[in-house]
Structure 1
Amino acid sequence: MCENKEILLNESLPFFKYLSKQEKDLIYNSSHIEEYHSGELIYSKYQSCTGLVLVANGILRSFMSSLSGKEITLFKLFEKDLCVLSSSCFYQNLSYDINLQAVENSSLVIIDGKPFKELLDTNIDVQKFMFEVTQSKLSEIMGVLEQVVFFSLEHRLSEYLIEQYYLKNSLKIDITHEAIANDLGSSREVISRMLKRFEKDNLVKLNRGCITIINIKDLQAISNKN
């Protein structure tokens, strides 16, 4: 497991191989591996600085939630992706309320934020990498905002199903209506009504916990309308 951690750090952090032995030891000794089950919260707006989260395997979702319980996914993290927004000690002058959750059983490398912040303050390569990662995630968040503000739910749902098709490489998508609602910032009832309309139009077939795409070309036509 320790060897796996070192390999993962080396492969996932482009600057790692250029660090001095002392700097490498700092990151290695201030990081640990944790396992999370599907649906388990890794970080929430009520926690202090968790640290940097590096995905060894599995899938995570970063989301915001309202007082009423409605959620919207901001971005997802896959193998070798890094989440910096869970390390609030990097951004003391920013106020944001995000949560990080395991979509499926996941293994993570958690890097303590405070020692890493010391390295960030003194190493230009680390600063450049962190800027690029942060910029990338903020771009994804802006993309979600654009979708919510300017596109219809019909468009967003059709695009979501197409994305799931390419992600899973299967026309059969094992997912609940509630999970889709949480990703799209809608309610389960609204998503269910829209999916039933899609089914009536012979775009999909619905089963409990599963959606099968029947006509992906027509789904793509809907997603291209706006």
Structure 2
Amino acid sequence: MTQHIQEAYGYIFEPKLIEDLCIVAAELDFKEGDQLIEIGQYIKKMPLLLNGVIKIMREDPDEGELLLYFIEKGDTCAMALTCCMGSSKSDIRAIAETDGTVLMVPIEKMEEWMTKYRSWRNFVINSYNNRLKEMLLAIDNLAFMKMEDRILNYLKEKSKLAANNTLNITHQEIANDLNTSRVVVSRILKKLENEKQIKLNRKSIDLAL
């Protein structure tokens, strides 16, 4: 476990904090598509992502789901952190985008380390700031960005996270994440292909280099 923590967080946390993490935290492996956090669930431990990618979704009873942001190696979910600290129910759903491993930190240690370790306190504050910026960007995209630009930005972000210009993704999956219809997605993807920004394959999408 120590090596995994050092690889993901060694540049952030001091050695003594990493030692404490190895003692009190538990590793949890997950598979692509696993639901890690459900809306309405009480979150008892804070997740630190050792490897893999997780997408954070918000749900509206009438409008469906909306992708808020992705978290990857060296990140945590600030909204899950807020639920932990406030002992409140989750307002988000966390779904594994890829296989990976997450480190689960008990609530009581989160609070203790806020005063004990400066690096932990800075990490928590920076996580809040980064996730807030990403959520504001998601709001801006909804309010001001055309669906064509939203889809292209989404594909670029997925490509960056996967480190691959070929995405194995369906039109319906894109529609679900962006809270729109498959018909709209298919029409826009065809337009992007005609503009040579992407190439549509039977079960994948290639982004232009």
TM-score (norm 1): 0.77
Partner of 1:6: 2
For structure 2, which runs of at least 5 residues remain unmatched after alignment?
none
- Cα distance change of structure 1 residues 89 and 169 upon mapping to structure 2, 3 Å threshold: closer
Query: How far apart, CA to CA, are the structure 2 residues paired with 1:176 and 1:76?
Result: 18
For structure 1, which runs of at least 5 residues remain unmatched after alignment?
218-226
1:104-125 C-alpha deviation (Å, 9 max, x unpaired): 1111111122332232255444
1:77 partner SS: strand
- Cα distance change of structure 1 residues 198 and 15 upon mapping to structure 2, 3 Å threshold: closer
Partner of 1:185: 179
Percent identity over the alignment?
24
- Maintained 8 Å contact 2:169/2:204: yes
- Maintained 8 Å contact 1:55/1:108: yes
In structure 1, give the amino acid aligned to 2:3.
I
1:31-86 C-alpha deviation (Å, 9 max, x unpaired): 10111111111112221124221222211111112224722211111222222322
Partner of 1:196: 190
Match of 2:36 among 26, 37, 42: 42
Query: How far apart, CA to CA, are the structure 1 residues paired with 2:159 and 2:117?
Result: 41
- Maintained 8 Å contact 1:41/1:100: yes
- Maintained 8 Å contact 1:52/1:111: yes
1:204-215 aligned at under 5 Å gives the runs: 204-213=198-207
Match of 1:99 among 93, 101, 105: 93
In structure 1, give the amino acid aligned to 2:129.
Q
2:40 partner SS: coil
- Cα distance change of structure 1 residues 74 and 210 upon mapping to structure 2, 3 Å threshold: same
- Maintained 8 Å contact 2:43/2:90: no
- Cα distance change of structure 1 residues 138 and 187 upon mapping to structure 2, 3 Å threshold: same
- Maintained 8 Å contact 2:43/2:89: no
- Cα distance change of structure 1 residues 170 and 59 upon mapping to structure 2, 3 Å threshold: closer
Query: How far apart, CA to CA, are the structure 2 residues paired with 1:49 and 1:123?
Result: 23
TM-score (norm 2): 0.82
Partner of 2:167: 173
1:107 partner SS: strand
- Offset at 1:186? 2.1
- Maintained 8 Å contact 1:52/1:84: no
Match of 1:16 among 2, 14, 17: 14
- Maintained 8 Å contact 1:53/1:111: yes
1:1-226 aligned at under 5 Å gives the runs: 5-11=1-7, 12=9, 14-17=12-15, 19=17, 24-25=19-20, 27-68=21-62, 70-87=64-81, 88-91=83-86, 97-121=91-115, 123-168=117-162, 170-213=164-207, 216=208
Query: How far apart, CA to CA, are the structure 2 residues paired with 1:187 and 1:91?
Result: 36
- Cα distance change of structure 1 residues 40 and 96 upon mapping to structure 2, 3 Å threshold: closer
- Maintained 8 Å contact 1:40/1:101: yes
- Cα distance change of structure 1 residues 49 and 165 upon mapping to structure 2, 3 Å threshold: closer
Query: How far apart, CA to CA, are the structure 2 residues paired with 1:178 and 1:50?
Result: 33
